[in-house]
């Protein structure tokens, strides 16, 4: 009997291997690249990020998009720094991030897992990290040899515009625009009809996407005084409690199919700036920012001498390692760069 003909090409030698360590921070994933990337050019982390984007963007989609990732995946590329202990830049499924808080926490836990930031018996280890947004300080606290918390002292945060009327998709809200390492449109959840719970995510993404598009169109047209850059995300929030006992329940929407599972580090930073600007929180008071899964970050605004309109956010949370991976691109793969469906 003659063997049936096959239409499947035989497997050929793999032509790409990239090693990563994955973690999640309050539910949101971080994928730290530990090997397999090409040498990058540039005198700063920002310059090397730009070189990566120009020459190797297909590696971003290979790592973050399906079938190896998904819309919410965030990557971290480590690189050397001339001004800090470490350098890193952040890969998003759609774009590159100036700063990413949950991924910074994930990176710190990954560095500890690799034994790169001090002995396990040390109660605390601190290091500086150069990211595209600037240089930040990261502190890793341990109990009984295990990481108990990671705190990062973020770049300065500020409110650029308050009470901006935005109407889109049958929803009319007033948004504040704030910088926390990325740009946010801050919107009261109740005003937008958003339920801050897992069952409300689909509606939140749809509503957040149209509000983001409308707000960015207004910014591009020069209709939002004091704001010249587009917002990266919409942060829906609900304020519970007052003062140091305050809980900010929140959900960050990045795209119509992408939301932050964590309380969001840079979003929490923007929220702190908003609360201080409104007089609802004083510098030095610590609050909790809570995701829709009921997991908290703690967040503290610190005054910056000579900069009355800005605060330095201190954000604390915890990440957990989920796996160590060696991703392969096999010869003949019909989707070598991955894919992403909106």
- Tens of pLDDT, residues 79-126: 999 999 999 999 999 999 999 999 999 999 999 999 999 888 999 999
> Does the structure show a pLDDT above 80 at 12?
no
Please choose, from the candidates 170, 176, 116, 128, the residue with its C-alpha nearest in 3D space to the C-alpha of residue 153: 128
Is the fold of 13-152+321-331 the same as that of 157-303?
A: yes
Catalytic positions? 100, 264
> What token pair was written down for 167?
């109407």
> In whole angstroms, what is the distance from residue 181 CA to residue 101 CA?
8
Cα dist. 335→12, 84, 312 in Å?
A: 15, 38, 43
* Confidence band for 243, pLDDT divided at 50, 70 and 90: low
- CATH T-level fold of 13-152+321-331: Diaminopimelate Epimerase; Chain A, domain 1 (3.10.310)
> What token pair was written down for 178?
């704030």
Cα dist. 206→173, 192, 202, 234 in Å?
A: 15, 11, 6, 11
Q: Is 56 exposed, middle or buried (0-12, 13-18, 19+ CB in 10 A)?
A: middle
Q: Which CATH architecture has domain 157-303?
A: Roll (3.10)
Q: Are 101 and 73 in contact (CB under 8 A)?
A: no
Average pLDDT over residues 145-158: 97
Q: Are 330 and 10 in contact (CB under 8 A)?
A: no
Residue range 214-242, pLDDT digits in tens: 999 999 999 999 999 999 999 999 999 87
Map out the domains of the chain as residue ranges: 13-152+321-331, 157-303
Calculate the CA dihedral of residues 244, 155, 274, 270 and round it to 10 degrees: -100
Instruction: Identify the residue whose tokens are 């909106």.
Output: 342
**In 131-226, which residue ranges form alpha helices assigned H by DSSP?**
189-192, 201-220
Q: Are 117 and 108 in contact (CB under 8 A)?
A: yes
**In the chain, which residue ranges form alpha helices assigned H by DSSP?**
45-55, 57-64, 101-113, 189-192, 201-220, 265-277
> In whole angstroms, what is the distance from residue 184 CA to residue 161 CA?
11
Task: Compute and round to an integer the Cα radius of gyration of the chain.
Answer: 21
> What percent of the chain stands above pLDDT 70?
95
> In whole angstroms, what is the distance from residue 7 CA to residue 135 CA?
54
Q: Are 105 and 265 in contact (CB under 8 A)?
A: yes
Calculate the average pLDDT of the chain.
Answer: 94
């Amino acid at each position: 009997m003659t063997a049936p003909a096959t239409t499947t090409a035989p497997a050929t030698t793999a032509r790409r291997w990239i090693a990563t360590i994955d973690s999640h921070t309050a539910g949101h994933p971080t994928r730290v690249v530990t090997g397999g990337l090409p040498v990058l050019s540039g005198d700063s982390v920002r310059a090397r990020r730009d070189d990566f984007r120009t020459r190797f963007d297909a590696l971003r989609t290979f790592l973050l998009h399906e079938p190896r990732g998904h819309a919410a995946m965030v990557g971290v590329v480590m690189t050397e720094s001339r001004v800090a202990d470490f350098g890193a830049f952040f890969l998003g499924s759609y774009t590159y991030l100036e700063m990413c808080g949950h991924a910074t926490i994930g990176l710190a836990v990954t560095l500890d897992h690799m034994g790169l930031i001090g002995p396990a018996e040390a109660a605390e280890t601190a290091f500086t990290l150069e990211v595209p947004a600037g240089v930040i300080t990261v502190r890793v606290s341990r109990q009984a040899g295990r990481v108990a918390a990671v705190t990062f002292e973020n770049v300065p945060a500020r409110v650029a515009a308050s009470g901006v009327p935005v109407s889109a998709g049958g929803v009319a809200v007033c948004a504040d625009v704030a910088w926390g390492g990325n740009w946010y449109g801050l919107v009261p959840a109740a005003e937008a009809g958003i339920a801050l719970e897992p069952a409300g995510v689909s509606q939140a993404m749809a509503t957040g996407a149209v509000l983001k598009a409308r707000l960015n169109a207004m910014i591009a047209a020069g209709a939002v005084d004091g704001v010249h850059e587009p917002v990266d995300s919409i942060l829906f929030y609900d304020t519970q409690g007052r003062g140091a006992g305050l809980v900010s329940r929140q959900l960050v929407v990045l795209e119509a199919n992408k939301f932050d599972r964590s309380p969001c580090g840079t979003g929490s930073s923007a929220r702190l700036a908003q609360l201080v600007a409104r007089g609802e929180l004083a510098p030095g008071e610590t609050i909790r920012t809570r995701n829709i899964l009921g997991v908290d970050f703690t967040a503290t605004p610190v005054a910056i001498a000579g900069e009355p309109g800005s605060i330095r956010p201190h954000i604390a949370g915890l990440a957990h390692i989920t796996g160590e991976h060696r991703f392969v691109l096999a010869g003949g793969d019909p989707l070598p760069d991955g894919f992403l469906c909106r």
